[in-house]
């Protein structure tokens, strides 16, 4: 697995600093009656939705916000039901402030927003059209005010540690999960039956896998799959099953073995931190918080701002996911890549940010709009605002090659325009059309991944 640029030693980045670890592990007993009497009568924050977001990341972000606001005796404790937690802290006057997180699947978060039982919906996939319609009366849930990308995750395909298979393409992957490949020997593995492990139907992790793998290959999950509400439980089961295969969020791989994945014409890529940060890894995905534009409390807005802050993104990294912090990495490229791209890779370093665009639009998507100030801050801190940045645009093969080349350069020009507004002047922009795909062009999600702008610095 490729090491992350901030981790040259290759050591795990999933461990918490001792102080913060103590904060989380020294969970106070359930409040006494006296403490309960002094507590706020209602939670200041209610998050419902994705288990991927809610099991660890959301409680840690809330605890970090409580700490930033000066609360003491902060604890994260079970709330009485599986996959539900309560985060509490004590104000200087002794009053207990608390928040609740219920992590039962992405779809339950949007239902909570609709019913008024949630302030924020945690989701491990974009909002669906039916959910947009359900919440339309509350505003545009796809707006930059409502949709918050708080982290990047990779959907890791996991097998037993002793399984000799190292890489799969998405077509073979789909056939395994559909039950069409019933024995590992059929794809060069051991003579052992394949047993399929999958998340449940409420899970955004399952929705992502279904869209990127199953639906893209026009197959359905085998009826014999074992289903799980929790990523961690699924990974534990696969690690104990010699014939097992499953999919989990990056932070839940545990003792299982993660495979490299290829999609379409892309090369096989491991779920490494750098490849996930750029969203080049075929099964990378965004983790979201959604808030109603028409009804955001001060606490809701403060948590959103904290999640995007440097402190919040540091918690994202400690939780095992990939932060949106921008760093420079050395990247090797294939010998078949265009000469200009090979020269660029030899002389410059790539930044761990890609700019992508709203579907069927030249408008930067919500994540890209927040990435512009992040990039400007990085370039300012490293004294690279003038003549040291190269933008490389890419397209997809849906249209003819000449049109793809033109559109790829126009996308790079869109990013240049936004950077120029912030006083950043580039060395060069280029458009490479449909060269170097990172995903299959057969489906909309793959084409959208390929429509990107990379950033390189000298």
Burial class (CB in 10 A: 0-12, 13-18, 19+), 396: buried
Q: Please report, in tens digits, the pLDDT of each residue of the chain (458 residues total).
A: 333 333 333 333 333 343 343 444 334 444 444 444 445 589 999 999 999 999 999 999 999 999 999 999 999 999 989 999 999 999 999 999 999 999 999 999 999 999 999 999 999 999 999 999 999 999 999 999 999 999 999 999 999 999 999 999 999 999 999 999 999 999 999 999 999 999 999 888 998 899 889 998 999 999 999 999 999 999 999 999 999 999 999 889 999 999 999 998 888 999 988 899 999 999 999 999 999 998 899 999 999 999 999 999 999 999 989 999 999 999 888 888 899 999 999 999 999 999 998 765 678 999 999 999 999 999 999 999 999 999 999 987 666 777 778 888 999 999 999 999 999 999 999 999 888 888 776 766 777 788 899 999 99
3-state secondary structure of 199: strand
Contact 199, 205 (CB under 8 A): yes
Q: What domains, with CATH codes, occur in the chain?
A: 18-150+287-318 (3.40.190.10), 153-273 (3.40.190.10), 326-457 (3.30.1330.60)
Q: Are strands 328-329 and 452-457 parallel, antiparallel or unpaired?
A: unpaired
List Cα–Cα distances, 409 to 165, 448, 451, in angstroms. Answer: 39, 16, 11
Taking residue 180's Cβ as centre, other Cβ atoms within 10 Å add up to 14
Q: Which long-range contacts (CB under 8 A, 24 or more apart) does 187-190 make?
A: 188/164, 189/163, 189/164, 189/165, 190/163, 190/164, 190/242
pTM of the predicted model as reported, rounded to 2 decimal places: 0.80
């Amino acid at each position: 697995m490729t090491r992350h640029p901030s981790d040259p030693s290759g050591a795990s980045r999933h461990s918490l600093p001792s102080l913060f670890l103590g904060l989380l592990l020294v969970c106070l007993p359930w409040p006494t009656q006296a403490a309960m009497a002094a507590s706020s009568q209602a939670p200041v924050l209610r998050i419902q939705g994705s288990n991927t977001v809610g099991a660890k990341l959301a409680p840690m972000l809330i605890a970090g916000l409580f700490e930033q606001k000066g609360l003491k005796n902060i604890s994260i404790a079970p709330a009485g039901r599986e996959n539900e937690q309560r985060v509490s802290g004590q104000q200087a006057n002794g009053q207990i402030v608390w928040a609740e997180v219920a992590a039962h699947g992405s779809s339950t978060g949007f239902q909570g927003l609709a019913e008024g039982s949630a302030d924020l919906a945690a989701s491990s996939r974009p909002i669906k059209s039916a959910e947009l319609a359900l919440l339309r009366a509350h505003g545009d849930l796809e707006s930059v005010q409502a949709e918050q990308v708080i982290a990047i995750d990779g959907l890791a395909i996991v097998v037993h540690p002793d399984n000799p298979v190292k890489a799969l393409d998405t077509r073979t992957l789909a056939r395994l999960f559909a039950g069409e490949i019933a024995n590992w020997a059929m794809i060069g593995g051991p003579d052992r039956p394949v047993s399929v492990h999958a998340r449940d139907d409420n899970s955004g992790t399952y929705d992502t896998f279904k869209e990127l793998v199953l639906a893209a290959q026009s197959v359905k999950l085998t009826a014999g799959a074992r289903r799980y509400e929790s990523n961690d439980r699924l990974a534990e089961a696969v690690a104990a099953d010699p014939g097992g295969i499953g999919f989990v969020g990056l932070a839940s791989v545990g003792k299982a073995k993660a495979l490299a994945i290829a999609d379409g014409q892309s090369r096989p890529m491991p779920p490494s931190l750098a490849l996930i940060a750029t969203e080049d890894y075929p099964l990378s995905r965004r983790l979201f918080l959604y808030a109603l534009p028409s009804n955001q409390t001060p606490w809701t807005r403060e948590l959103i701002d904290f999640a995007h802050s440097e402190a919040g993104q540091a918690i994202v990294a400690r939780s095992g996911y990939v932060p949106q912090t921008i760093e420079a990495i050395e990247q090797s490229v294939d010998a078949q890549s265009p000469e200009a791209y090979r020269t660029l890779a030899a002389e410059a370093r790539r930044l761990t940010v890609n700019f992508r665009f709203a579907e069927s639009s030249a408008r930067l998507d919500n994540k890209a709009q927040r990435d512009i100030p992040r990039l400007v801050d990085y370039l300012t801190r490293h004294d690279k605002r003038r003549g040291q940045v190269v933008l490389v645009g890419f397209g997809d093969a849906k249209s003819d090659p000449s049109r793809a080349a033109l559109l790829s350069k126009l996308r790079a020009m869109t990013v240049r325009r936004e950077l120029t507004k912030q006083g950043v002047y580039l060395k060069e922009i280029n458009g490479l059309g449909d060269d170097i795909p990172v995903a299959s062009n057969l489906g909309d999600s793959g084409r959208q991944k390929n429509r990107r702008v990379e950033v390189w610095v000298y």
